Structures are given as structure tokens and as C-alpha cells.
Structure 1
Amino acid sequence: MTKIAFIGAGSVSFTRELLTDLFSYAELAGTLEIALHDIDEGRLETARRVAERIDGDKGAGARISTHLDRRAALDGCDFAINMVQVGMHEATVKDFDVPDAHGLTQTIGDTLGVGGIFRALRTIPVMLGIGEDLAAVAPGAWFLNYTNPMAILIQAYAEASPHKQVVGLCHSVQNTTRQIAELAGVPFEEVSFTGAGVNHQAFILRFEREGEDLYPLLDAALAKDPELSRRVRVEMYKKLGYFPTESSEHSSEYLPWFLHHPAEVERFRLEPREYVRRSLENLQEYDDVRAALDSGAPLPDERCYEYAPEIIHSMVTGQQRTIYGNVRNDGLIAQLPPQSAVEVPILVDKTGLRPTIVRDYPPQLAALNRTFLNVADLTVRAALDGNPDHVRHAAMLDPNTAASLTLDEIDAVVTELLAAHAGALPAGL
């Protein structure tokens, strides 16, 4: 049996999507043990019901267990999938309300900026606790992390966890390449591409079909529809020469040029506080899933093509794949800091995961990434060293925050959020 632990399984929609993909592999039928963990007993019970429903629908023959104790769920696992959100909706609202009161606009707040900094500070202790558990009870397991802020968490884990087999996973590369293939009018199955950078600020460096550069077809499609240019990611593409892998809502708050200009917010159709709306939708979706389970209504059954199930399938069956993942920058992108986490192509087969070197990374992309990674590194330093001054330094150097607030205003935001999240932060903060 291959044991897979789901940490934060009470995020039932994501659990459902991953299990739908995983249980769709006929080769894995009867070979999987699913250990579900959450600290919320009610959500954990809902996750169990979801897992058992999908297992029955797919005929996967999985062995399913639930655990309030995390180490018990991880004991002997081959893979651990992490999707925790420390503090849930209540903490997210604080991450938006406090900056809002001082004039700082955020859209998503989960990766960079003040929201990303404090989400990281809440999550790093939990991540390192998972690493301690894995080192003790499953040292050979692969830790597959979906929780944001990805670059910060993977750097912290790589530096400070006794367990080292970790990769951060996102769906931005899959989604973006499908979107631009559709815009270019080319079937996705015929496209080959290479992407690289840092999570949520990576770029498609090569976009081809049988050696033909497809960027001119994308340019033609963008030229035909002026509304497509009213997006931050399209503006970034025009200015930087490579299409970014993350959405406009995310990208806008990693940059200094958009959110503190009301006219630019309107021009690029940005939605301040967008993630608060999404967070409320997630709460409603949870209620909808429970209602479906109670009534016997079918659950959504679409494949999502997430990387975690593909990694597990490749390592169990030996089928070779290339996925995109986030790992420590051990010489993978020479133009970026070695301690940082980078997003690169990774070869996967029965032997494990092998990140590939990306050569000749464009200098303008590296320069932009470094403004992102400055914030990530200072946040990691704040957490691992227990130094609150570095929280302030991270916020001071964040592009959107620096463009929007004075130093005194930044200091006030950080002071208030340190107090608001007291008890959930690393020691010393």
C-alpha cells in the first residue's frame, strides 16, 4: 500500500479535487491508504465522508482513516500533502482590515505584501512542526506543499526543517499555458513550453509548437481584443517580453505600479479585497458539500490535473513526467539567490523528483524576482531568528506597500498585526 497523508484535509473542496484525480488512476486501485488529518473535528468528519463517497464512485478500493493527531496521520506515510490555512477566514480578514485602515490596498494577500508576510509568519511554525513529525515517523516521505505563501514557506522549510524532501506545488503554470494556448488558437496537446521564476511570479520562457514560436500568434490575438490588454499580466508581458504565470489579481500586489493608483485599478479591472470574497465563497462551498453529502446529491467529478496526484502516480508506476515545482535554488537559476525557493521544471519517475537547471534566465525577470525574494528572505529571517525588526524590514521593502505608505504608516500596520495575530506567530515576534 502507498500511504498518503492529507494535512488540513478539512479544506474539503481541495481534498475532493485531489482525491478525484488520484482515484481516477486505474493502476492505483486497491493500492492506496489515505490518512486524513485536521484539527477541526467537524471538518475532518466531512472530509472522511467526501473521501468515502469518491472512493465508492471511482471504485478505488482505498483504505481511509481519520486522525485528529497529526503525527499519527503521518506515521509511515510515503507522501504528505499539506493544505493548511492557519487562522482560516478570521485571520484573513485581519490581514486585510488593518492595512485597509491605513490606506494599503491588497487584492489576494496570501503570497507577498503585508498579508503574505503575516500568513507566512502564522504558517512557518506549523510547517516546521510537520517537518519534525516527518523526520520522526516518515523520514523517506515526500512533502507536497500547496499552502501559500509558497516561496517563503519552502525557503523556511528547506533551511530549518530536519526533513528535506519537500516540493511546493501550484496550478498557475498548468492554467496559464492552457489559457495562452487557447488564445493563440493552438490545441494545448500540441504545445511545448518552458517556464521558470518564483511561484506566482514565474514566466513562460518558451512557447512553441514543433519548434515554431507561438508568441506571435498570442500577440495577434491580444491585438484583436483591446479588453484583453486591460489586465495586469498582459501589461507585464508587454513590458517584460514573457507571459507571467500568475493572475492579474495576484500579480498586481507584487508590483509598485498599480494598486495605489485608483485610475490603474479601474483600467486593469482590479478588485481590492478579492480574497475576502473568495474566502467567504469557500465557506459557502463547504456548506454546499455537506448538503450534497446529506442529500445524496453527486459531488463534482471533473479532473483538475493537479501535480500531487501526478507525482504519486509517476513514483508508484514509473511513468515519467515533467511537472513544475518549487524547491531550494541549489544552482537552478543562477541569477537568483541560492537560499531562495524557485519554480522550475522537475522530472518525476519511480526514483523521485529531479529539478532541472534553467540557463540564461532573462535579466529583467531576475531583477523583478529579486524584489519579490527580498521580502521572502526577510520574512524567513524574522521567523527563524525571532526578530520583529525583520518583519518591519520585509514590509518596508515590499513593492506595493512601499509605494503606498510612509515608513511611519508601515510601522503602524506591522505593530497592529503583530498584536492581532499574537499567539500564532513564531517565538520572539
Structure 2
Amino acid sequence: MTRPKITFIGAGSVVFTQGLLADLFAFAELKDAHIALHDIDTERLDTAEAAAHHIAGHLGADARITAHLDRREALTGADFVINIVQIGMGEATRTDFEIPARYGLRQTIGDTLGIGGIFRALRTFPHLRALGADIAELCPDAWLLNYTNPMAMNVQYLAEATGLTKVVGLCHSVYWTIRDLSDLLEVPYQEVTYRAAGVNHQAWVLELRHGETDLYGRLDELIKSELIAGEEQLRRRVRVDMYRRLGYYPTETSEHSSEYVPWYLHHDSEIERLRLPVGAYLGIVEENVAAYEKTRDALAAGEPLTVEGTMEYAPQIIHSIVTGTPRTVYGNVRNHGLIDNLPRTGVVEVPCLVDASGVQPTRIGSLPSQLAALNRTYLSMNDLVVRAAVEDDPRHIRHAAMTDPATAAALPVERIWQLCDDMVRAHADRLQPALRATLGS
């Protein structure tokens, strides 16, 4: 295709938009792309547009850059749509933490499972339905590349509520996990071969090798040698603790991973032992606002911006589809037999081949039983949240919270229903009307 049109939905997430643009313009074949930026916040949209022009100039790109408050205008004729919205922004995120905290419920990031994940999904679904309808009408052949969390819930909802089929959810957790393990084991990342699969933020490194060497053996030796030396740094990470007990390394940070199981956040001793930062995402929200304001002010003053690539998957996918260059990325897609012992309708994270024909997921077979057991609980909760929205059934919100491992470990069922009522009241204006009902305990 000539001069592909790439539309950013939520381009006001300026720092993330900058990184993606730096990755895109690093490819010679994409330097003349049409970049259409959409956001509903005028100031943020103006900042994103100015940053895009700066990055294009810095990297020698002859891109056409347009900015649109009207989403439909931005989508018309798009070849690729990158969704990076956060509905409710920092205000809604603070609500996701503050109300559960009053009930004694601890969260670290709150964007994937748990009460935070449930309500982030429910306030995002109306946006996804409208976005899907616009894509079906205005750019039906476009690939929708979703970065918005909760990833698995959002991709499942898109499939069930919009009928779009050219959708893939993208996350950098697998890539950075392998980079971090390579650094830890002092092996060049470029020489490591690996295979991972599972669900987003709870996938598993199934194979990890350097040539003929199984790097899991080296990781075991490192953990053992640290213990012999009287040190506890590795064993004080949730993901290492999970690896020791499950036999496979999880592909998400300790902060995230602690929220998806019932074993850690409910126990003061485990929070101390594993150094878990309760409420950490609130600090990240403030850092993101500060980073945005720094970028805005630098552009207004005519000061140079740092232009750095991020190795994100969306630019790689776009380059492969445009040029036919084959590469493998990790994507979140409907299961449909990719992982035998997980629900077919759930969204799984697997390696995907990308070339001119699009994104083609790899069949994995069965996961080890202990891994599939945890992933099934994750996907069961996801499905109940999607059911709540698709079926207009507010009871399923409570069923999802009851099914969530960390919530169920911390609260009796009556308190879970009361908490859901409080969250519904707080987020009511962002929920579809049928889900605004309070049901009592």
C-alpha cells in the first residue's frame, strides 16, 4: 500500500504516542505515512500534533500529520487504528483505588483484574462499541491494534460486541521479560530463543534457551547461589516466588502478578517479604501527568525533545503488513483452539507471525496443568465482565468480583456486593445505562 494511513485514537497520551511515532518513522518505508491523531482534549491533541511534527523532522520523515477532534474524520480511510485511550483518565483511576481501599482491599496497579480491572473495562466498553461501529463503516479493512487495558477483556468485548475480526491486543510484557531475564543471566538478548503463552499479564515462559543451553537451569543456579550467599533479592520478587512454585516464569512484573492470585496482597507478611508497593499506580499516574506537562512546555518553548524508540509491536506489525517483511510478535487474540486447555472464547497471548497477509496466531497446544488452572480463573472473571456488558446484566459485575482471586481472598461476599454498588455509583456516568443499577448485598 502507498502512504498508509495510521490513526491514533487517544493520541493525547502524548508520551506513548511519541514512542510509537519514533518507532514508525525509524522504518524507511513508513516515513511518508499519513498520521491521523484523534483526541477529545484540545490541549493534549495540540501537544500530540506538535510532538509528531518534531519527531518527523528529527527523523527525516515526510509524513502527513493531521489532528482531529472528530473521531470519524480521523478514521475515514485508515489502514491501521491504534487504540490507546484511557477513559476517565487519572480521576477514574483514583476512584478505582480509593473506594476499594476503604474496604481494606489492596491493589498495586488495578488495570487488568480485580475491582480496578472490572470497572476500567466497564467504562471502556461503550467507547469500544462506538469505535468498532465507526471502523466497520469508515475503514472496514483496517487492523485495530489495541493497547488499552484491561487487554483481554477489551479484545473479547470487541469480538463479541462489534464483530470486528482484524483485531489484536498488544503488550510489551513478554518482550521486556525476556530482555530482563537475558540481563539477569548475562546472555545477549539477540542470542536467546524463547516461547511464551498464556493470557495477557499472566503468560508463561515455556522455553528459554541460549543455543543448546536451557537457561532455566542457569536461573535455578542463580537463585540457589543467592540463597547460599545469604541474600534474598531474587526470592523477594513475586514472579520468582511464582516460578519456584509453578515451574515456569511469569511474563509480568511482580506488582502486576501479585494482583491476579489470592496468595500475596491479603497478607501483611507477604507484602513486607515481597516488597509489594500497594497503590503504586497512583504514583505512575502522577508521573505520566508530569511527563506530559514537561513535553507540552518544552514544545511551547521551542526546546528540543528526546526522541527514542520503544520497540513496541504496533510499528513492527504495520511495517510487516505494508512491506511483507515476516516477523514474530506476541499478540492477544481470541483462543479458538490456540491453547487447548483454555476456553475457546477467551483471549490468549501467543506468538504471532506477521507478514503481508496480516497477523497469524500460533497454535500452542496445552499448557502445563498448573498454569492453565490459573489462566482459567483469569478468563472466567473476564468472561463475566464481558457478559455483564453484552447481556446488560448488572449481577454479572458482582459475579466477576466474587470470582476474582484477590478480591475473594480479602472480602466476604456481602462486602464484595457493597463495594460493587459503591463503584457503580462512582462511575455511573461512564457505564452503559443498564449497568448503573445498585443491587444491595
TM-score (structure 1 length as normaliser): 0.98
Q: Which residue of 2 aligns with 1:310?
A: 316
Give, in angstroms, the shift of residue 336 of structure 1: 0.4
Q: Which residue of 1 aligns with 2:229?
A: none
1:423 to 418, 425, 429: 429
Counterparts of 1:355 and 1:287, CA distance in 2: 39
1:284 to 270, 281, 290: 290
Counterparts of 2:389 and 2:305, CA distance in 1: 40
Q: Which residue of 2 aligns with 1:337?
A: 343
Q: Could you say what secondary structure the match of 1:122 adopts?
A: helix
2:394 to 388, 392, 407: 388
Give, in angstroms, the shift of residue 228 of structure 1: 1.3
Q: Which residue of 2 aligns with 1:266?
A: 272
Deviations 1:272-321 (A, max 9, x none): 11111101111111111112212333222222100000001111111100
Q: Which residue of 2 aligns with 1:370?
A: 376
- Aligned AA for 1:178? R
Counterparts of 1:284 and 1:7, CA distance in 2: 21
Q: Say whether the 8 Å CA contact 1:392–1:414 is kept in structure 2.
A: yes
Q: Could you say what secondary structure the match of 2:434 adopts?
A: coil
Structure 1 range deviating more: 218-227 or 52-61: 218-227
Counterparts of 1:262 and 1:276, CA distance in 2: 20
- Aligned AA for 2:23? D
Give, in angstroms, the shift of residue 181 of structure 1: 1.1
Counterparts of 1:125 and 1:400, CA distance in 2: 26
Counterparts of 1:251 and 1:108, CA distance in 2: 10
Q: Say whether the 8 Å CA contact 1:132–1:162 is kept in structure 2.
A: no
Q: Say whether the 8 Å CA contact 1:196–1:202 is kept in structure 2.
A: yes
Q: Say whether the 8 Å CA contact 2:142–2:166 is kept in structure 1.
A: yes
Give, in angstroms, the shift of residue 410 of structure 1: 0.6
1:16-31 matches, cutoff 5 A: 16-30=18-32
Deviations 1:77-109 (A, max 9, x none): 000000000000000011111100011000000
Structure 1 range deviating more: 297-306 or 321-330: 297-306
Counterparts of 1:50 and 1:181, CA distance in 2: 33
Q: Could you say what secondary structure the match of 1:423 adopts?
A: helix
Counterparts of 1:29 and 1:18, CA distance in 2: 13
Give, in angstroms, the shift of residue 221 of structure 1: 2.3
Give, in angstroms, the shift of residue 412 of structure 1: 1.0
- Aligned AA for 1:26? A
Q: Gaps spanning 5+ residues in structure 1: where? A: none
Q: Which residue of 2 aligns with 1:80?
A: 81
Deviations 1:235-283 (A, max 9, x none): 1111111110000101101110110101100100101111111011111
- Aligned AA for 2:264? F
Give, in angstroms, the shift of residue 386 of structure 1: 1.1
Counterparts of 1:367 and 1:256, CA distance in 2: 13
Q: Which residue of 2 aligns with 1:228?
A: 234
Give, in angstroms, the shift of residue 406 of structure 1: 0.8
Counterparts of 1:423 and 1:164, CA distance in 2: 29
- Aligned AA for 2:393? N
Task: Call closer, same or farther: CA 1:4–1:106 in 2, change over 3 Å.
Answer: same
Aligned CA RMSD, in angstroms, stands at: 0.9
- Aligned AA for 1:422? A
Counterparts of 1:295 and 1:202, CA distance in 2: 44
Give, in angstroms, the shift of residue 162 of structure 1: 3.0
Q: Could you say what secondary structure the match of 1:109 adopts?
A: coil
- Aligned AA for 2:16? F
Give, in angstroms, the shift of residue 222 of structure 1: 2.6
Counterparts of 2:236 and 2:286, CA distance in 1: 26
Q: Say whether the 8 Å CA contact 1:183–1:221 is kept in structure 2.
A: no
Deviations 1:367-391 (A, max 9, x none): 0101111110000001111111000
Q: Gaps spanning 5+ residues in structure 2: where? A: 227-231, 436-441
Give, in angstroms, the shift of residue 27 of structure 1: 2.7
1:26-45 matches, cutoff 5 A: 26-30=28-32, 32-45=33-46
Structure 1 range deviating more: 345-354 or 292-301: 292-301
Counterparts of 2:414 and 2:194, CA distance in 1: 45
Q: Which residue of 1 aligns with 2:325?
A: 319
Counterparts of 1:10 and 1:421, CA distance in 2: 22
Counterparts of 2:309 and 2:77, CA distance in 1: 28
Q: Which residue of 2 aligns with 1:135?
A: 136
Instruction: Work out whether 1:107 is the aligned partner of 2:113.
Output: no
The percentage of counterpart residues that share the same residue type is 55
Q: Could you say what secondary structure the match of 1:264 adopts?
A: helix
Q: Which residue of 1 aligns with 2:353?
A: 347
1:201-216 matches, cutoff 5 A: 201-216=202-217
Count of matched residue positions in the alignment of Structure 1 and Structure 2: 428
Counterparts of 2:86 and 2:97, CA distance in 1: 16
Q: Could you say what secondary structure the match of 2:276 adopts?
A: coil
Give, in angstroms, the shift of residue 395 of structure 1: 0.4
Q: Say whether the 8 Å CA contact 2:172–2:312 is kept in structure 1.
A: yes
Give, in angstroms, the shift of residue 426 of structure 1: 2.1
Q: Say whether the 8 Å CA contact 2:24–2:31 is kept in structure 1.
A: no
Q: Which residue of 2 aligns with 1:275?
A: 281
Structure 1 range deviating more: 216-225 or 405-414: 216-225
Q: Which residue of 2 aligns with 1:244?
A: 250
